[in-house]
Structure 1
Amino acid sequence: MDRKQKVIERITQSEKPLSASALAKELGVSRQIIVGDVALLRASGHKIIATPRGYVIDLPSLGISKTIAVKHDDKDMEKELNLIIDMGGYIENVIVEHPVYGEIKGNMKLKSRYDILKFMEKVNNYDATSLSSLTGGVHLHTIYADSTEILDRIEEALKENGFLLE
């Protein structure tokens, strides 16, 4: 089995995101080699998604989704994310509208406070600015939940906390 086949097999079989560094260590190559392999696999049609915690296979989503417009500054990012998760949501992505590039989407795939904790650690460790900082805090999230009632409760909680853009 060649290395690219091992990469796709490991990502597919993993129950959690796999980082390029972890795959590189496991396969005895550099991180950049794995990044290149993943790029080639994606180009050949494999549905590999890069998330802040590593690579995952894009499987059909379960539940009902809604795209919600919100606005806040970076200091409220963790509060907003936790609010969505605590109400029963799964945060698929963040989307901003850029004047030059059009729609920019960042895959998040956050389903627990632990995922958010790891995401925020990465943001802080890399001193990264949020995509929403490009648009004065305005952004969209695609959120999945088990029912429209849960999505409605999430939207109401975002409104109560001053995050919902109306």
Structure 2
Amino acid sequence: MALREQPIAERPAGPEARRARLLELLQAADRPLTGAELARRLGASRQLIVQDIAVLRAAGVEILATPRGYLLPRARPAHRTLVAVRHTPEQTEDELTLLVDLGVEVVDVIVEHPIYGELRGSLHVASREDVRQFMEAVRRTGARLLSELTEGLHLHTLEARSPELLERAREALRQRGYLVE
């Protein structure tokens, strides 16, 4: 059975119309959309989409770039915390899976760089499938993790539906030896 291709949208007339349509696509999306997918749907090049994203951001639109694509921030859950952790690159998948299995979203990764100060990478990993895709991207690209800059020490912003879930996540990280206290 052949996969159905998403039809290419009519090419919007002009950059303002294209950017408006780009925002509509992001608002309607229930998952991150890649630059290539947005380009195909808007009948534009990926480079033009990247430029449009930059222009929209400069105009004050908050657009998140994750390893899986672009998305607009959604209403944040009421419960959020920051945890300090340390582990090897080989333990990354275990750490992320542990957290998402507890119902916690890993929003980002933060490291303190001696030259640049705080470096933050947007993750938005909330399911095993998100973890799988993230780890596959790491393997496919050969990219190094931010935590490798700091001998494994990094912070994560975590979000959950309740403070109990965040406390359970903290305890699970502690039991695995990842939590830095």
CA offsets 1:48-87 (integer angstroms, 9 cap, x no match): 1101111111223013001000000100000000001111
- Could you tell me how far apart the structure 1 residues matched to 2:26 and 2:103 are? 26
- Could you tell me how far apart the structure 1 residues matched to 2:27 and 2:116 are? 31
Residue equivalent to 2:85: 70
- Could you tell me how far apart the structure 2 residues matched to 1:27 and 1:148 are? 41
1:75 maps to a residue whose letter is: E
Percent identity for Structure 1 against Structure 2: 44
Structure 2 stretches lacking a partner, 5+ long: 1-11
CA offsets 1:6-25 (integer angstroms, 9 cap, x no match): 11111111111000000111
Shift of 1:29: 1.6
Structure 1 stretches lacking a partner, 5+ long: none
Residue equivalent to 1:115: 130
- Could you tell me how far apart the structure 1 residues matched to 2:102 and 2:41 are? 37
- Could you tell me how far apart the structure 2 residues matched to 1:101 and 1:82 are? 30
Is 2:49 aligned against 1:34? yes
Residue equivalent to 2:7: none
What CA RMSD, in Å, does the superposition of the two structures yield over aligned residues? 0.9
Q: Point out 4+ residue stretches in structure 1 off by more than 2 angstroms.
A: none
How many pairs were matched up?
A: 166
Residue equivalent to 1:23: 38
User: TM-score scaled by structure 2?
Assistant: 0.89
Residue equivalent to 1:100: 115
- Larger deviation, residues 124-133 vs 145-154: 145-154
Is 2:174 aligned against 1:159? yes
- Could you tell me how far apart the structure 2 residues matched to 1:47 and 1:144 are? 19
Residue equivalent to 1:59: 74
CA offsets 1:15-51 (integer angstroms, 9 cap, x no match): 1100000011111221111000000001001111101
Shift of 1:160: 0.7
